[in-house]
Structure 1
Amino acid sequence: MGKAGRHYVLAAGGTGGHLLPAFALATELERRGHHVALITDERGAKIPGKPDFLPAHVLPAGRFGKNPLRWFGGLKAVWQGRDMAKRLFETFQPSAVVGFGGYPALPTMLAATSDDIPTVVHEQNAVLGRVNRFLAGRVNAVATAYPEIERLKDKHRDKVHLVGNPVRSGVLGLREEPFPAFSDDGILKVLVTGGSQGANVLSEIVPDGLAMLPPALRQRLQVTQQCRPEDLDKVRERYRNHDIPAELGTYFEDMAARLADTHLFIGRAGASTIAELTAVGRPAILVPLPIATDDHQAANTREIVKAGGARMIRQEKFQPKELAKQIQALSQRPDTLATAAHAAWNCGRPKAVEDLADLVESFGGADMMDVIKVGASAPRAASQTVASAPGAAREPSE
C-alpha cells in the first residue's frame, strides 16, 4: 500500500483528555488522504467532538482497580477486546496503530503488537500513564507533549518524539493574535475553569481571593467562571456581595472566544488546558488536581512555570490570601502580564498534530517514497525545540 490512502487505527477512550487528541490526529490523517478508524469503549463513544468521517468500534475494556478480586474480570475483558481488535485488523489492515493511553486503548495496542503492526503511543501528560508505561517497551515510538517525562525508563528514551498536544483549530487560530490590551486603568479580564466538571475549590476560594485585591485593582475586575450546577447560586451571591461583576455558567461553548479576551486564567492543570494556554499565550495561576494519578497535573505545570508563564499553587495552600498575592504579582504592571503571556506562548507547540501525523506516517511504509519521507521528516517529527516567535522577535502588545 502506498503512502496515499493508507489505513490507520486510533485507540482511545474513557475521557476527553484521551479522545480529543485522537480526533485531531484523525482529522489530519484524513486530510492527507488516509482512512482512519477509532476503537474505543462505551464511555468514549459518548464523548462529543468525533469527526463525522470517523467510524467508531466499541470494544470491551478491562478496569483494574485496587481490589485484586476484580482483576480477573478486567483481564478477561482485555483479552476479549484484543481478539476483537485482531479481527478488525484482518479486514482493515492498518499500516500503524496509535494509542492515546487509558485502559480502553490496551486491548487494541496488545493486538497490534501481537500482529507485528507498527505502533505509536501518545502521552498527553508530563508523567507517562500506566497503560503507556506498560506498552513503552513494546511499541515503536512514544510521542510526548513535554520535554521532561516522568516514569519513563531510560532504556525507552530513544523512542521518544516530542510533538506536543494537539489543540482545537478554533483555539490555535488565536496564536497569532496579540495579547489583549491591558493598561494601568483598564479592565482585568479573568477566566476561571475547573475542567469539564468544574471544581468546587475554585468556587470556594476564587471570589474571596479576588475580593482581597487592592481596591484599585478589584474595581477593574471582570470575571468569567465555570461552576458546578450546585455551586452557581452560592458563587453568584459571593460575587454580588463583593461587588465584582461576574458571568457564571456550568459550560461555555465559546471557550475560544473567551480565551481570546482573557488577561489571566485560573484553573486546573490538565493537559488540554495547558496546551491551549501555551498555544494562545495566556498567563495562568494553576491549581493541580490533588488526586490526579501520579500527581501528573503538577508535573504538567513544570515547563510553563519554569518559563515564567504561570504560577502553581498546591490545593492545600490555595487560600484567598495566597491567590490574591499571586494575582498581584502577575498583574502589578501591564508589562508584567504581557511578559508572562509571551513566556506561556513560547511553550506552545502549534504544530503538534502535524508532527504527530508525520511520526505516524513514518511507520508502516516500505516503498521508496516512504523511505525518502522518513529521512526528510524525521527531524521535524522528533523535534525537541520549543516554539519560537514568528520572526524571532514577536512581543505581545501591551
Structure 2
Amino acid sequence: MTKARHYVLAAGGTGGHMVPAAALAGELQKRGHRVALVSDARGVRFPGLLDGLQTHVLPAGRFAGGPIGYARAVARLWEARGMAIELYKTFKPSAVIGFGGYPAMPALLAAFHGKIPTAVHEQNAVLGRVNRLVAGKVDAIATSYAQVERLKDAHRGKTHLVGNPVREAVLALRSQPYPLLEEDGIFRVLVTGGSQGASVLSKVVPDGLSMLPIAFRSRLQVTHQARIEDIDEVRAKYAEHGIPAELATYLPDMPEQLAWAHLVIARAGASTLAELTVAGRPAILVPLPSATDDHQTVNAREMTNAGGARTIPQGQFTPVELAKQMQKLGLDPLALQNAAGRARSCGRPNAVRDLADLVESLDAPAAGVPVGLAKPVKMAGAAA
C-alpha cells in the first residue's frame, strides 16, 4: 500500500484549471493521501467541486496595467509566496502541483524555495504563461495533448502525456453507448459556452437551427446554456422559431446533459474537449478568438482532424454556416455515430490515474532515475 503523503495543488480560479485539480484531489484522497488546494477567491468558491477539500486563498493578480500595475502584481506575488512558505511549514507537502493560472505561481515559487518536488499540468494544446515561466525548474510537466505548442525541446525529457482529468460522472459515460438516433427520432442538441457562457452562441445558434429543413428542425430538442444577460432574448428566439429549448445560465448536471446529447455546439476549452472526447460526443466547435495564444483553436485540432468535430472560426460562425454544418453532421445517423466514435478515439480516460501515478513518483524516484521520471507516461497516442 502506498504511504500516505501530503500534496498541495495550486490552480487558477477558472473551470479549466479547477476541474482537473479537483479530479486529481479526489484520486489522491482515494489513495489515502491528504490534499490541500491553493487558489484565488474565485477558485475556492467554485460550485460543487471542493466539498471536503482543505482550501487556501492566496493573493494573486495579472501582470498588467503598466509599471504601477506590474509593481502591485509583484508585491502580491511575493506576499502570496510568503504565505505559501508558512503553509508548507505546517502542512509539509511531499510535492506541489500547479495547474496554471496566476494563483499557481506563488505556490510553486514557495516550493522551489523549500526544495519541494514540483510538477505542472497543462490542460491546453499551448503551454500557458505561468507553466512556461516555471517549466525549466519543475521536475515534471504533464500534458493533455501529444503535441503542445510553446513547449521547449529542452523540456520534453520530463514531459508526460496523461490527458486532462474529468469528473467521474463524465468518465462513466464512456461505458455507455452513443444514444440511439433514428431517422425520424428526436435530435438532441446541447449548446454550452463553458463556465462563463458565450454570447456568440446565443446570437447565432437559434437562428442557425431555424434555417434547417423543416423535417430536421421539427425533430430538434435543445438545451442551451446562456449568460444571464442573454437568456431572455435567446428564449424568445427559440419560441419564435418553434424550437423546443430549455435555457439555463449554469448546467450542474452536465454529465446527464452529455449522456443524451447527439451533438454538442460549444467553445473549445480544455475541460469541454476532455469531456466530449471521453464521453464520445460529436461537436461543432467555435474557439474563443481572444483566448491567450489562441489556444482554443489549437485545442480543437486533434478532435477535428480525427473527424469527431467540425471547427468554425468565430468570424465565420453565422446562422447559414451553422445550418450547413448541422446538415452535414446530422442528416445521416450513421455518419453522426461514426463521428461520435472518432471523438471517443481522442479521449484519454485514464488521465486522473496517470496523473496521480506521476505525482506519487515525484518524491519517491526509482534508483538512478531523476525525480519526476520514476513512472513516465508515454508521449504518444490516445487511450482506448
TM class by shorter-chain length? over 0.9
**Conserved 8 A contact 1:119-1:140:** yes
Superposition map of 1:127-142 within 5 A = 127-142=126-141
Which of 376, 386, 398 is equivalent to 2:382?
386
**Conserved 8 A contact 2:190-2:258:** yes
- 1:233 corresponds in structure 2 to 232
CA distance in 1, matches of 2:33, 2:366: 16
Question: How big is the shift at 1:120?
Answer: 0.4
Question: How big is the shift at 1:11?
Answer: 1.0
- Amino acid across the alignment from 1:318: F
**Conserved 8 A contact 2:282-2:336:** yes
Q: SS of 1:204's equivalent?
A: helix
Q: TM-score scaled by structure 2? A: 0.95
CA distance in 2, matches of 1:366, 1:240: 61
The root-mean-square deviation of aligned C-alpha atoms, in Å, is 2.0
Superposition map of 1:205-220 within 5 A = 205-220=204-219
CA deviations over 1:158-201 (Å, ceiling 9, x no partner): 12111111111111111110001112211111111111222111
- 2:202 corresponds in structure 1 to 203
Give 5+ residue unaligned stretches, structure 1: 389-398
**Structure 1 pair 169–142 and aligned structure 2 pair: CA distance change class (3 A):** same
Question: How big is the shift at 1:226?
Answer: 1.1
Q: SS of 1:57's equivalent?
A: strand
- Amino acid across the alignment from 1:386: A
- 2:330 corresponds in structure 1 to 331
Question: How big is the shift at 1:66?
Answer: 4.7
**Conserved 8 A contact 1:39-1:56:** yes
Matched, 1:162 2:161: yes
**Conserved 8 A contact 1:166-1:352:** yes
Give 5+ residue unaligned stretches, structure 2: none
Superposition map of 1:21-36 within 5 A = 21-36=20-35
**Conserved 8 A contact 2:281-2:343:** yes
**Conserved 8 A contact 1:62-1:76:** no
- 2:278 corresponds in structure 1 to 279
- Amino acid across the alignment from 1:354: R
Q: SS of 1:340's equivalent?
A: helix
CA distance in 1, matches of 2:59, 2:232: 40
CA deviations over 1:118-158 (Å, ceiling 9, x no partner): 10000111111100000000101110111111111111111
CA distance in 2, matches of 1:236, 1:164: 36
CA distance in 1, matches of 2:307, 2:65: 38
Q: SS of 2:329's equivalent?
A: helix
- 2:124 corresponds in structure 1 to 125
- Amino acid across the alignment from 1:57: H
Identity of aligned residues (%): 60
Comparing 40-49 with 132-141, greater Cα deviation is found at 40-49
Question: How big is the shift at 1:89?
Answer: 1.5
Question: How big is the shift at 1:367?
Answer: 8.2
Superposition map of 1:266-305 within 5 A = 266-305=265-304
- Amino acid across the alignment from 2:350: K
CA distance in 1, matches of 2:32, 2:261: 37
- 1:78 corresponds in structure 2 to 77
Q: SS of 1:197's equivalent?
A: coil
CA distance in 1, matches of 2:351, 2:123: 11
CA distance in 2, matches of 1:5, 1:120: 19
Q: TM-score scaled by structure 1? A: 0.92
CA distance in 2, matches of 1:349, 1:293: 24
- Amino acid across the alignment from 1:110: L
- Amino acid across the alignment from 1:37: A
Comparing 99-108 with 230-239, greater Cα deviation is found at 230-239
- Amino acid across the alignment from 2:140: A
- Amino acid across the alignment from 1:143: A
- 1:349 corresponds in structure 2 to 348
CA distance in 1, matches of 2:210, 2:175: 33
**Conserved 8 A contact 2:208-2:318:** yes
CA distance in 2, matches of 1:252, 1:113: 39
